[in-house]
C-alpha cells in the first residue's frame, strides 16, 4: 500500500469521505486522492514523494505559485506579532483601500473569511437593500454552499451528480430562480414576468465551476440592462475570476459594472479570506451602519490580510497579466495541436490565467454542452497525466489554473505528456 492509500484509508475513519471538500475525494475520476506534503513554485509533492506540475493551484488562489517567498515572508512577519485579535488592524484598511482602488465598481468593501461567506452576505445585502426575496442564479454556476445557492449548483455538487443538495428547505429553493447560462432571452422573459420581485442576479462572469465557460457579450449586457430596468442588484461572483483573469478582474475585462462584487481565492494569496463590496448606498446598509447583519470572528484575519496584500502588490507589476495570459494560451495551443496530431476529439480555451479542457469538438457555451462532453475520456486523460506527473483538477467540471511560476519549459513538458497520453488513447 502506498503512503497516499494508507492516509486515505485512515482519513475515511474520521472524516466524511476522507476529505474536507468533496471533489478532493477523486470519486468522479476514481482512484486514490493525493495527499500533498509540499508545494514550491509550479510544483507539488505527494506523500509518496512524487513531484507533479500543478494546474489546480489550490483551486485558483496561488496565482504566484506555491510558497512565493514574498508572501511567505509577509505572513511570517505578521505571525510573529500575533495570529488574531478580533479587533481592527491597520492592514485591514490598507487591503480595503487597495481593493477599492483596483475595482472601480466598489466604493466600500467588507472583509470576510471565505468566498461562500462573501456571496451569502452579498445576497442578504441585496435582499435587504431591495426589500425583495427572489434571486436569479444560473445552472452549473457555484457560489458556495449557502442553502439558497445549492439549487442546481456547479463545482463539487455537479461533479457528484447531485446539484440540488438535500437539507435545503423548500421555501428557500422556491425563491431561487435557476436559469440557463448564456441565455439572455430566457433571462429577459423571467424578468418580464417576475422582475419586481427579484432582489438580485448572482453570476460567475466567467463560469469556472462547470469547467470554463466564457460569457456571451449579449448575456452580460442583458443582465446589466435588466437589473437597471427593474431595480435589481447585479452581483458579480468574482471569487474565482477576481485578479485571476486580469488586474481589473472579469468586470474590467468585459467592461460591465456590477452593483456588488464578491472576491476570494487570489485576494487571500492562499490564506482564508473573502470580500464583498460595491456601491456606497448599498454597502451602507451593512451593520453597524445599517440593518443588514454580518459578522465574523476571523474576518480580516491578520495573516490572511498580509498574504493578500503581498499577492496583490506583485500582480500589479507591469506586464504581469500579459505574461500570465500568454503562458496560459501557450498551454491551450499546445494541447490543441497535440490532440489534432493524434486525431483525438478535444477542445480547449482560456481566459486570463484560467483554462478549460473538454473532450468535445468545440468549447461549450452552455451547461447542456458541458454535460454532453465525454466524461469517461476525461477520466482516462486525468489518470494518465497524473502518472506522468501532471496534476489536473480531478473532475471534468472544473477549470484549471496557470500561475506566474509556470515556465515555458513546464508548459512544453505538459504538452509533451499530453501528446503521449493522446497517442495512448487513440491506440486504445
CATH number for the domain that contains residue 174: 3.40.640.10
145/121 same-domain check: yes
49/163 same-domain check: no
Q: Decide if pLDDT at 155 tops 80.
A: no
Which among 276, 152, 252, 138 has a CA at the least distance from the CA of 203? 138
Query: What's the pLDDT band for 29 if we cut at 50, 70, 90?
Result: very high
User: Residue 401: enclosing H or E segment and its boundaries?
Assistant: strand 400-401
Domain around 220 = 69-315
398/308 same-domain check: no
275/328 same-domain check: no
Instruction: State the virtual CA torsion across 349, 350, 351, 355 in degrees, nearest 10.
Output: 120
231/348 same-domain check: no
Question: Which cell is 156 given?
Answer: 463539487
426 catalytically annotated: no
Q: Decide if pLDDT at 319 tops 50.
A: yes
DSSP annotation of 345 reads -
| ∠ Cα 400 120 312 (to 5°) | 50
Q: What proportion of the chain, given as a percentage, has pLDDT over 90?
A: 91
Which among 265, 209, 239, 252 has a CA at the least distance from the CA of 122? 239
- Residues listed for the chain: 428
Out of 46, 137, 265, 391, the active site residue is 265
CATH number for the domain that contains residue 394: 3.90.1150.10
pLDDT tens figures, 122-134: 999 999 999 999 9
244/324 same-domain check: no
Number of domains comprising the chain? 2
134 catalytically annotated: no
What is the rounded average pLDDT of the residues 381-386? 98
Instruction: State the virtual CA torsion across 132, 138, 139, 140 in degrees, nearest 10.
Output: -120
SS3 192: helix
142 catalytically annotated: yes
Q: Which residue carries 501557450 as its cell?
A: 330
pTM: 0.95
pLDDT of residue 164: 62
Range name among 139-148, 249-258, 360-369 with the lowest pLDDT average: 139-148
53/85 same-domain check: no
Other Cβ atoms within 10 Å of 216 Cβ, number: 15
What is the rounded average pLDDT of the residues 121-149? 92
Domain end point (choices 288, 315, 342): 315
pLDDT tens figures, 156-180: 544 444 456 677 777 777 888 999 9
Which among 145, 144, 126, 128 has a CA at the least distance from the CA of 136? 126
Q: Decide if pLDDT at 154 tops 90.
A: no
277/372 same-domain check: no
260/388 same-domain check: no
Question: Which cell is 104 given?
Answer: 472601480
Domain end point (choices 293, 315, 337): 315
Domain end point (choices 315, 350, 367): 315
204/99 same-domain check: yes
Residue 21 CB-density burial (10 A; 0-12 exposed, 13-18 middle, 19+ buried)? exposed
Q: Which residue carries 475520476 as its cell?
A: 29
Out of 52, 55, 142, 254, the active site residue is 142
Out of 46, 54, 68, 237, the active site residue is 237
Amino acid at each position: 500500500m502506498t503512503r497516499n492509500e494508507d492516509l486515505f484509508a485512515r482519513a475515511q475513519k474520521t472524516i466524511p469521505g476522507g476529505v474536507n471538500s468533496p471533489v478532493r475525494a477523486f470519486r468522479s475520476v476514481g482512484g486514490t486522492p493525493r495527499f500533498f506534503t509540499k508545494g514550491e513554485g509550479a510544483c507539488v509533492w505527494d506523500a509518496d514523494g512524487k513531484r507533479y506540475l500543478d494546474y489546480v493551484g489550490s483551486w485558483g488562489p496561488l496565482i504566484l505559485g506555491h510558497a512565493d517567498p514574498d508572501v511567505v515572508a509577509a505572513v511570517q512577519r505578521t505571525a510573529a506579532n500575533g495570529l488574531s485579535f478580533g479587533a481592527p488592524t491597520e492592514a485591514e484598511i490598507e487591503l480595503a483601500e487597495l481593493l477599492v482602488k483596483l475595482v472601480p465598481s466598489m466604493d466600500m468593501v467588507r472583509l470576510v473569511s471565505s468566498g461562500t461567506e462573501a456571496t451569502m452576505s452579498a445576497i442578504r445585502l441585496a435582499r435587504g437593500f431591495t426589500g425583495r426575496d427572489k434571486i436569479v442564479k444560473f445552472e452549473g454556476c457555484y457560489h458556495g454552499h449557502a442553502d439558497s445557492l445549492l439549487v442546481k449548483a456547479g463545482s463539487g455538487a455537479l461533479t457528484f451528480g447531485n446539484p440540488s443538495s438535500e437539507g435545503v428547505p423548500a421555501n428557500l429553493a422556491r425563491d431561487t430562480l435557476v436559469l440557463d447560462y448564456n441565455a439572455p432571452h430566457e433571462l429577459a422573459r423571467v424578468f418580464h414576468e417576475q422582475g419586481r420581485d427579484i432582489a438580485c442576479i448572482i453570476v460567475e462572469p466567467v463560469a469556472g465551476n462547470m469547467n470554463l465557460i466564457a460569457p456571451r457579450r449579449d448575456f452580460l449586457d442583458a443582465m446589466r440592462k435588466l437589473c437597471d430596468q427593474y431595480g435589481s442588484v447585479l452581483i458579480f461572483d468574482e471569487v474565482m475570476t477576481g485578479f485571476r483573469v486580469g488586474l481589473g478582474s472579469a468586470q474590467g475585462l468585459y467592461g460591465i459594472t456590477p452593483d456588488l462584487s464578491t472576491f476570494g481565492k487570489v485576494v487571500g494569496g492562499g490564506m482564508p479570506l473573502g470580500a464583498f463590496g460595491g456601491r456606497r448606498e448599498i454597502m451602507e446598509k451593512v451593520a453597524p451602519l445599517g440593518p443588514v447583519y454580518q459578522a465574523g470572528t476571523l474576518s480580516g484575519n491578520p495573516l490572511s490580510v498580509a498574504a493578500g496584500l503581498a499577492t496583490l502588490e506583485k500582480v500589479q507589476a507591469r506586464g504581469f497579466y500579459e505574461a500570465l495570459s500568454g503562458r496560459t494560451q501557450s498551454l491551450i495551443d499546445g494541447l490543441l495541436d497535440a490532440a489534432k496530431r493524434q486525431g483525438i476529439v478535444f477542445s480547449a480555451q482560456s481566459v486570463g490565467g484560467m483554462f478549460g479542457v473538454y473532450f468535445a469538438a468545440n468549447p461549450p457555451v452552455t451547461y447542456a454542452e458541458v454535460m454532453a462532453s465525454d466524461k469517461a475520456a476525461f477520466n482516462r486523460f486525468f489518470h494518465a497525466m497524473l502518472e506522468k506527473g501532471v496534476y489536473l483538477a480531478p473532475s471534468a467540471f472544473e477549470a484549471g489554473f496557470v500561475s506566474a511560476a509556470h515556465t515555458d519549459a513546464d508548459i512544453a513538458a505538459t504538452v509533451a505528456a499530453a501528446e503521449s497520453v493522446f497517442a495512448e488513447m487513440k491506440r486504445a
